Amino acid sequence: MIKVLVTGAAGQVGQDLMDVLAGRTPPGGDSDFQPDGQAIGLDEFSVMGLTHHDLDITDAQAVRRTVGMVRPDIIIHLAAYTAVDKAESDVEACFAVNEAGTGNLSDAAFEFGARFIAVSTDYVYDGRKGDTYVETDPTNPIGVYGRSKLAGELRCRPQDTIIRTSWVMGLRGRNVLHVIADRVARNEPVRFVTDQVGTPTFSADLARALATFARQPLGGIWHVANRGTTSWYSVAETAARLFGAPDDFVTPIVTEELSPAPAATRPARSDLSTRKWESAGFQPMPEWTAALSRFVADRN
Ligand X SMILES: NC(=O)c1ccc[n+]([C@@H]2O[C@H](COP(=O)([O-])OP(=O)(O)OC[C@H]3O[C@@H](n4cnc5c(N)ncnc54)[C@H](OP(=O)(O)O)[C@@H]3O)[C@@H](O)[C@H]2O)c1
Complex with ligand X: residue 173 or 219, whichever CB lies closer = 173
In this structure, the chain runs to a length of: 300
Active-site residue, from 123, 133, 145, 233: 145
CA distance linking residue 166 with residue 233, whole number of Å = 16
Complex with ligand X: residue 114 or 168, whichever CB lies closer = 168
86 lies in the site for ligand X, by CB under 6 A: no
12 lies in the site for ligand X, by CB under 6 A: yes
CB-based contact 98:26 (threshold 8 Å): no
Q: Give the residue, chosen from 4, 5, 6, 13, that forms a contact with ligand X under the rule CB under 6 A.
A: 13
8 lies in the site for ligand X, by CB under 6 A: yes
Query: Shortest gap between Cβ of 212 and ligand X (angstroms)?
Result: 16
Complex with ligand X: residue 53 or 186, whichever CB lies closer = 53
230 lies in the site for ligand X, by CB under 6 A: no
In the region spanning residues 106 to 125, those forming contacts with ligand X, defined by CB under 6 A, are 119, 121
**Residues contacting 161, CB < 8 A, separation 6+:** 115, 116, 117, 118, 213, 218, 219, 220, 222
CA distance linking residue 167 with residue 85, whole number of Å = 15
Q: Give the residue, chosen from 2, 10, 263, 268, that forms a contact with ligand X under the rule CB under 6 A.
A: 10
The helix (run of H) or strand (run of E) holding residue 250 is strand 250-253
Query: Shortest gap between Cβ of 43 and ligand X (angstroms)?
Result: 26
78 lies in the site for ligand X, by CB under 6 A: yes
Complex with ligand X: residue 101 or 228, whichever CB lies closer = 101
CA distance linking residue 32 with residue 283, whole number of Å = 10
190 lies in the site for ligand X, by CB under 6 A: no
Q: Give the residue, chosen from 40, 57, 124, 150, that forms a contact with ligand X under the rule CB under 6 A.
A: 57
Is 133 in the active site? no
Q: Give the residue, chosen from 133, 167, 202, 288, that forms a contact with ligand X under the rule CB under 6 A.
A: 167
35-59 in b/e burial notation, b at 16+ Cβ within 10 A?
A: bbeeebeeebbebbbbeeeebebbe
Q: Which of 242, 213, 200, 182 is nearest to 78 (CA)?
A: 213
Give alpha helix (H) positions in 57-120.
Answer: 60-70, 84-87, 91-95, 102-111
Complex with ligand X: residue 143 or 249, whichever CB lies closer = 143
Complex with ligand X: residue 96 or 218, whichever CB lies closer = 96
Strand 74-77 and strand 230-231: pairing?
A: unpaired
Torsion angle (degrees, nearest 10) of CA 48, 54, 55, 61: -100
204 lies in the site for ligand X, by CB under 6 A: no
Strand 161-165 and strand 220-223: pairing?
A: parallel
Query: Shortest gap between Cβ of 199 and ligand X (angstroms)?
Result: 10
Number of residues that bind ligand X (CB under 6 A): 26
161 lies in the site for ligand X, by CB under 6 A: no
- As annotated, the active-site residues are 145
Which parts of this chain interact with ligand X (CB under 6 A)? 8, 10-14, 52, 55-58, 78-82, 97, 101, 119, 121, 149, 165-168, 173
